[in-house]
């Protein structure tokens, strides 16, 4: 059998509004463009490796917010890889609805967009069959599997769904079902964290979520990749190719025992091990107990790190003043009464409110004990 290669990606969510950070309008515009740059790098990778197929397993576009100009730009780029067959299996964020750009715009001849019914496409020269289907709406609670034809061809399945669950609003795919359908490679989308599993069936099915190629929020940290897969006589071989424009990073710095802000900066510098890490969107969580007289000048710390090449910084101050609560609780007067009253409120509050009240306790002590100091 002839060998072939393909790219597998999903969950780029083009034109999804950027949420959950504090960048100004200029930075937001830059961030939106970075998602485009990431897709452009996929096209460059397809050209460089001369891949036979490009599999996009859903949530490629953000149906509610994607602009016509963005989709027309995507169409132009896909037309540049005319020798690569592109397969798009729409997901719950870009379903194959009547008002979808998948339906209303003209796509290049090398691009095929799967509809709501399973399809099979055979490539005799490569000895492979490709199976796929797409979402027709924002939810797909009922699962199905394709009808298999032929015994010798290699089989690839492209679909957006939730693997390993019997029930889901997003096309549940059980392990037992995928064991029985016996694909060689199952190209999934929906889960933004990369995952690979090899099934113990006759074809040793390789199941793959490539993860989001560009982090969408602070939960999607670290390097983001696409899957570059080669198929030869020995089977399917997976290579993860870094692709993101700029990653999200979250550092946690325990300030307990620290004497000055330079020590905090040292921790952040140690976490950023290379230029790519320095250029990340970085959130620094300050935790632990700080000296009551230690005030954080976040603007000054940001300036110091930006001068050393850091690209973007956010700070979350979740520290607590290092007060001796036992001693203060037993004291007479306003402070002791305040602590005892807050203790009672925290004890009787619902769990979801206890952290809020604890912060209120420390903030109150901050004000009562240090009226001219650090009031956060």
In a shared domain, residues 160 and 278 = no
- The domain that holds 313 is classified in CATH as 3.30.370
Among residues 223, 242, 261, the one where a domain terminates is 242
What letter would DSSP give residue 21?
S
Report the C-alpha gap between 133 and 196 in whole angstroms.
21
Among residues 221, 242, 263, the one where a domain terminates is 242
In a shared domain, residues 255 and 137 = no
In a shared domain, residues 310 and 361 = no
Q: What pLDDT, on a 0 to 100 scale, did the predictor assign at position 325?
A: 81
Place of tokens 């083009």: 14
Q: What pLDDT, on a 0 to 100 scale, did the predictor assign at position 371?
A: 55
Question: Within a domain: residue 334?
Answer: yes
Report the C-alpha gap between 241 and 216 in whole angstroms.
18
In a shared domain, residues 97 and 133 = yes
Place of tokens 């897709």: 39
Q: What pLDDT, on a 0 to 100 scale, did the predictor assign at position 376?
A: 36
In a shared domain, residues 148 and 61 = yes
Question: Within a domain: residue 113?
Answer: yes
- Domains in the chain, number: 3
Question: Within a domain: residue 375?
Answer: no
In a shared domain, residues 209 and 336 = no
Q: What pLDDT, on a 0 to 100 scale, did the predictor assign at position 358?
A: 85
Report the C-alpha gap between 214 and 245 in whole angstroms.
7
pLDDT digits (tens, 9 = 90+) for 226-258: 999 999 999 999 999 999 999 999 999 999 888
Question: Within a domain: residue 111?
Answer: yes
pLDDT tens for the chain, residues 1 to 376: 799 999 999 999 999 988 777 777 888 889 999 999 999 999 999 999 999 999 999 999 999 999 999 999 999 999 999 999 999 999 999 999 999 999 999 999 999 999 999 999 999 999 999 999 999 999 999 999 999 987 789 999 999 999 998 889 999 999 999 999 999 999 999 999 999 999 999 999 999 999 999 999 999 999 999 999 999 999 999 999 999 999 999 999 999 888 889 999 999 999 898 888 999 999 999 999 888 778 899 999 999 999 999 999 999 998 887 877 888 888 888 999 999 999 999 999 998 898 889 888 888 887 887 655 443 3
280 CB-near residues (< 8 Å, 6+ apart): 246, 247, 248, 249, 272, 311, 312
Q: Which two tokens stand for residue 245?
A: 């424009």
In a shared domain, residues 266 and 194 = no
Place of tokens 């006759």: 202
246 CB-near residues (< 8 Å, 6+ apart): 31, 34, 279, 280, 281, 311
Question: Within a domain: residue 313?
Answer: yes
In a shared domain, residues 365 and 272 = no
**Residue 207's beta-bridge partner residues?**
186, 197
- The domain that holds 190 is classified in CATH as 3.60.21.10
pLDDT digits (tens, 9 = 90+) for 82-94: 999 999 999 999 9
Angle between helices 261-271 and 298-307 (to 10 degrees): 40
In a shared domain, residues 292 and 155 = no
Query: Please, is 209 exposed, middle or buried when counting C-beta atoms within 10 Å of its C-beta (0-12, 13-18, 19+)?
Result: buried
Question: Within a domain: residue 376?
Answer: no
In a shared domain, residues 237 and 305 = no
**Residue 286's beta-bridge partner residues?**
253, 317
**Residue 220's beta-bridge partner residues?**
none
Nearest to 159 by CA among 241, 104, 88, 257: 88
In a shared domain, residues 222 and 175 = yes
H-run or E-run covering 346: helix 334-348
Among residues 208, 242, 276, the one where a domain terminates is 242
Question: Within a domain: residue 92?
Answer: yes
Domain span at 344:
326-369
Place of tokens 């194959």: 96
Question: Within a domain: residue 374?
Answer: no
In a shared domain, residues 198 and 118 = yes
């Amino acid at each position: 059998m002839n060998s072939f290669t393909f790219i597998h990606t999903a969950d780029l969510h083009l034109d999804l509004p950027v949420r959950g950070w504090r960048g100004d309008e200029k930075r937001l515009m830059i961030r939106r463009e970075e998602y485009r740059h990431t897709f452009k790098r996929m096209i460059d990778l397809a050209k460089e490796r001369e891949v036979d197929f490009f599999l996009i397993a859903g949530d490629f576009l953000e149906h509610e917010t994607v602009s016509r100009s963005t989709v027309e730009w995507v169409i132009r780029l896909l037309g540049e890889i005319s020798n690569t067959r592109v397969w798009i299996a729409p997901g719950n964020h870009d379903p194959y609805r009547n008002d979808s750009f998948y339906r209303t715009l003209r796509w290049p001849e090398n691009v095929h967009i799967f509809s709501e019914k399973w399809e099979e496409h055979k490539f005799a020269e490569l000895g492979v069959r490709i199976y796929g289907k797409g979402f027709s709406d924002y939810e797909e609670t009922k699962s199905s599997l394709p009808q298999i034809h032929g015994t010798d061809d290699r089989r690839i399945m492209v679909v957006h769904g939730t693997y390993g669950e019997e029930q889901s609003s997003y096309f549940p795919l059980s392990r037992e079902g995928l064991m029985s359908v016996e694909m060689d490679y199952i190209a999934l989308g929906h889960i933004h964290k990369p995952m690979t599993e090899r099934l113990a069936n006759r074809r040793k099915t390789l199941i793959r979520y490539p993860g989001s190629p560009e982090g969408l929020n602070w939960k999607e940290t670290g390097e983001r990749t696409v899957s570059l897969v080669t198929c030869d006589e020995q089977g399917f071989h997976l290579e993860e190719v870094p692709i993101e424009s700029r990653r999200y990073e979250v550092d946690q710095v325990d300030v307990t025992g620290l004497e000055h802000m330079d020590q905090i900066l040292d921790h952040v510098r140690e976490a950023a091990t290379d230029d790519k890490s320095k250029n990340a969107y970085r959130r620094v969580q300050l935790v632990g107990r700080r000296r009551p007289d230690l005030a954080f000048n976040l603007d000054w710390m940001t300036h110091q790190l930006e001068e050393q090449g850091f690209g973007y910084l956010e700070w979350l101050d979740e520290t607590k003043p290092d007060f001796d609560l036992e001693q203060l609780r037993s004291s007479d007067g306003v402070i002791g009464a305040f602590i005892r009253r807050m203790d009672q409120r925290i004890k009787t509050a619902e769990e979801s409110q206890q952290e809020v009240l604890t912060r209120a306790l420390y903030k109150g002590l901050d004000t009562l004990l240090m009226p001219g100091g650090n009031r956060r």
